[in-house]
Amino acid sequence: MKTLVCTTPKQFDYATGVKPDLEAGRAIIKIKRIGICGTDLHAYEGTQPYFEYPRILGHELAGELVEFDNAPGFEKGEAVTFIPYFNCGTCIACRMGKGNCCTHMKVCGVHVHGGMAEYLSVPSESLVHGEGLSFDELALVEPLAIGAHGVSRADVQPGEYVLVIGAGPIGLGIMEFARIAGAHVIAMDINESRLQFCKEKLKVEHVVNALSPDVMAQLQKITNGDMPTVVIDATGSLRAINNGFQYMAHGARYVLVGLQKGDISFSHPEFHKREATLMSSRNAHRSDFEHVIASMKKGLVDPTTYITHRVRFDQVKDEFESWLDPATGVIKAMVELE
């Protein structure tokens, strides 16, 4: 079995691994698609928190179910994806129904080896039916579920102005599900081509370049002087996160979906007088995955719009570093096996 291992920052090596044997309570997936996400890029750069090397990356995955134990309702040969956040089931978070932030969380491709391999063993309870979706679509369910969960955390209501900072794949998913929730979406980024993508492909109502000298004035005009009642960061940039506090309306909620290693800072008086709410959003629930799949099937989301680059598995090592360069125009790179 061929695998691709991130041995150290900035270094990939192909290796020959052993095809996993079927174990109790687990399932084996023959990988067909691997979506490349920000976590993979950050791990390659050496900037991903909670990370150790060497590691097989990859958690945006779709494939064929070839073997399983204790997975009622599933059939051999069906197309599947899975929930790549492996929780303990017994800690305080799990007992509260928040397995997405389990105290002993093992995220596939981060804490344990992921799917840049021909076959992958996963807990049977993590399997998700393909529901007739393509492998491309199924590989993008997980990143969209991250966005859907962020919108759920914010409790977005119809008619609200929602500012999404960061127009990468996760930010795009947040925009999509904020729109589905009935919000007026504002996309913010420093990359003009990505903002144009938001307008042209996702039909986002408003876009703002964060480098503009009149950002505050633009936001006030868009929101009729109120400012956004929901701000969601999807950048993982310390500067962008800190700047986001000033964009909040009084009574607003600020949700941090992006992750970085530093300490955030903000003016306590400004935050306090708004009676603002600050929260994080980590991973996603099965209900978020179900919401994404249902939205895809209804035609409310077309995830294949995001795929700008395609490579074969044997090309990843040579192509990966180029995806760090904004000049390549990559939004979502998709790796194909077979």
pLDDT at residue 231 greater than cutoff 90: yes
Confidence of residue 192 (pLDDT cuts 50, 70, 90): very high
Chain-wide mean pLDDT for the chain?
96
Q: Which helix (H) or strand (E) holds 141?
A: helix 141-154
Angle, CA of 227, 243 and 283, to the nearest 5°: 90
Alpha-carbon distance 89 to 103, whole Å?
10
Q: What is the spatial distance between Cα 118 and Cα 130, in angstroms, rounded to a whole number? A: 19
Q: Bridge partners of 31?
A: 63
What is the arithmetic mean of pLDDT over 203-224?
Answer: 97
- pLDDT band, residue 210 (cuts 50/70/90): very high
Q: Mean pLDDT throughout 249-272?
A: 94
Cβ proximity of 162 and 232 under 8 Å: yes
Share of the chain above pLDDT 70, in %: 100
Structural contact between residues 225 and 250, judged by C-beta atoms closer than 8 angstroms: no
Point out which residues pair with 19 in neighbouring strands: none
Containing 218, the helix (H) or strand (E) segment is helix 215-222
Closest CA to 296 of 127, 162, 118, 288: 288
CATH fit for domain 2-139+302-336, picks 3.40.1670.10, 3.90.180.10, 3.90.420.10, 3.10.20.30: 3.90.180.10
* Percent of the chain at pLDDT exceeding 90: 92
Can you give the residue ranges of every domain in the chain?
2-139+302-336, 147-280
Tell me: pLDDT of 261 over 90: no
Per-residue b/e over 291-316, b at no fewer than 16 CB within 10 Å?
bbbebbeeeebebeebbebebebeeb
The amino acid sitting at 155 is: D
Can you read off the two tokens belonging to residue 4? 């691709």
Q: Is the pLDDT of residue 212 over 80?
A: yes
pLDDT for 326 beyond 90: no
CATH superfamily of 147-280: NAD(P)-binding Rossmann-like Domain (3.40.50.720)
Query: What is the per-residue DSSP string for 76-91?
Result: TT-EEEE--EE--SSS
